[in-house]
Structure 1
Amino acid sequence: DGTLIDDWSWLVTPDFVNVIVVDEAGMFPMFRQVKYAIDGTSLAPVGGYIEPGEDPLVAAKREVLEEIGYVADTWVALGEYACDANRGAGTAKLFLAINARHVAQPDSDDLEEQQLLHLTKAEVQQELLQGAFKVLPWSAAVAMALLYLDTTTA
């Protein structure tokens, strides 16, 4: 009915991209990293904030090149999802990059400790089911990418 609640918490953060990358050999580059809200380490895809006025696909391509030095010719939009339906916290824009290839050294400004891994599809599936992707948008991106790959290339 349009009623405003004065003390309602609303978190304003930029929208962001998460990208599941599959290289030409069928491997999935993923990070094992530490994040402030996570106990221990987590597996993580490429991701980052969308700059003001930036197209989400352009942001996804930029992040993949900056973080892991890859480019891809085939891109699939996996959807846009609110992170917290009641409090904001930005919108996740999820992508899948297929047949990616390494073209440059990473040039990331991430401050967190991280290690780049190259996992098989079976390893990614197993890690997802074991809860190794400890941030909801990361788990959603991985699940959506695996579902897409299983239903379009079977």
Structure 2
Amino acid sequence: MARPSPLRHPRLPRLSLRSNKHSWKIGLVPLLMLWVLFCVIVLSELSSVIHHPSDEFRKTTISIPSPSNSVFKGAPWTSPLLKDRTVLHETAFARCEIHSVYSEDRKEIQSDWMWFDEVDHVNVIVFDQSSNEFVFFKQKKYALESESLAVVGGFHAPGETGFEACRREVKEELGYTSRKELDSILSTTTPYDPEQDDGWLVLGRYRTAANRGGGFLTACFLRDAVPIPENLQSLAGFEGLGEGKGIIGDEAGQKDGEAQHIVRMSLPEITQAVLNGKFQEVKWTATFALALLHIHTSSST
């Protein structure tokens, strides 16, 4: 019996590059075109991501105004790095915002920058030459854990400079002024020029928090403070309650209701109090430290 022949698969046509030696080149052209198009799209998108902030920065107005219906009485902060702001809450003397801020190289934007605007304020160190003592307060504050030594201070009134606010606050809170101003009031013929009053020393103007705002502090030192006689208080512009009676400042609408008690210390006593942290707010400590440094510098020259 004859053996069946084995099954054979049909022969497949052999592929040969030789059959059309240019066909592979023709097929590669569309692939190259697609690859180039892909690269162009990707690079275009990357370019917009990398350069868009700086392009937008050049088009963004540096000064971004506050809302027209703002109740905040201070000046809003502006910076070349500020893109935009969102007001979260505000009162007459303070405002909390979220800022969108460009990085220093203008390549990134941080959109959750917490910011606090506050009406600019002052601290004043007062030295009574007649008693050779510093005059200041002991009081409680809402954010402090216990009673603290404190300096004369308050907010700027509308349109007031830092130096003008310092002079006013000393009158309002203590009923004191400088020797030259009192002599001018008593003489009625000698005009008073605050800029020529060497009893006052401006210690500087400082940002409260470098990254979060908090307004600017003007620090001053009244080196020859004298009490204003009661019969001259109206002429001197005295509007407060005076020494030992306490005062509630409301220049910007703030009413804190915190009584102030007068404290007097000599130079050695106040130096030790500053070193021992008896002024619990950093601005009070820094202002007194600046005044003491000026005293030390002037006495050593």
TM-score (norm 2): 0.49
Which of the residues 284, 287, 293 maps onto 1:138? 284
Alpha-carbon distance change, 114 to 108 in structure 1, aligned in 2, over 3 angstroms: closer
Q: Secondary structure at the match of 1:133?
A: coil
Distance 2:211 2:158 in 1: 23
Q: Which structure has the bigger radius of gyration?
A: 2
Answering whether residue 164 of structure 2 is matched by residue 58 of structure 1, we say yes
1:114, CA displacement in angstroms? Answer: 2.2
Structure 1 residues 23-66: Cα deviation after superposition (integer angstroms, max 9, x where no partner):
12321011010000101111011010112220111100100000
- 1:99 deviates by 1.2
Q: SS in structure 1 opposite 2:114?
A: coil
**Is the 8 Å Cα contact of residues 26 and 99 (structure 1) preserved in structure 2?**
no
Aligned position for 1:108: 247
Q: Give the alignment partner of residue 43 of structure 1, picking from 146, 149, 156.
A: 149
RMSD: 1.5
Written as runs of structure 1 = structure 2, the 5 A alignment for 1:25-44 is 25-44=131-150
Given that 2:176 and 2:226 are in contact with CA atoms closer than 8 Å, whether structure 1 keeps it comes out as: yes
Match of 1:94 among 219, 223, 226: 219
The residue number in structure 1 matching 2:200 is 75
Determine helix, strand or coil for the equivalent of 1:59: helix
Query: Following the alignment from structure 1 to structure 2, what is the Cα–Cα distance between the partners of residues 141 and 40?
Result: 20
Paired AA for residue 200 in structure 2: W
Match of 1:16 in 2: 121
Percent identity over the alignment? 37
* Structure with the larger RCO, 1 or 2 (CA within 8 Å, 6+ apart): 1
TM-score normalised by length of structure 1: 0.94
Q: Which shows bigger deviation, 61-70 or 144-153?
A: 144-153
Post-superposition offset of 1:7: 1.7
SS state at 1:58 partner:
helix
Q: How many residues align?
A: 154
Q: Secondary structure at the match of 2:247?
A: coil
Report the Cα distance in structure 1 between the residues aligned to 2:224 and 2:262, rounded to whole angstroms. 18
Q: Which runs of 5+ in 2 are unaligned?
A: 1-53, 55-80, 82-101, 103-108, 181-198, 231-240, 250-256
Point out where structure 1 has 5 or more consecutive residues left out of the alignment.
none
The answer to whether the Cα contact below 8 Å between 2:248 and 2:259 also exists between their aligned partners in 1 is no
Greater percentage in helix: 2
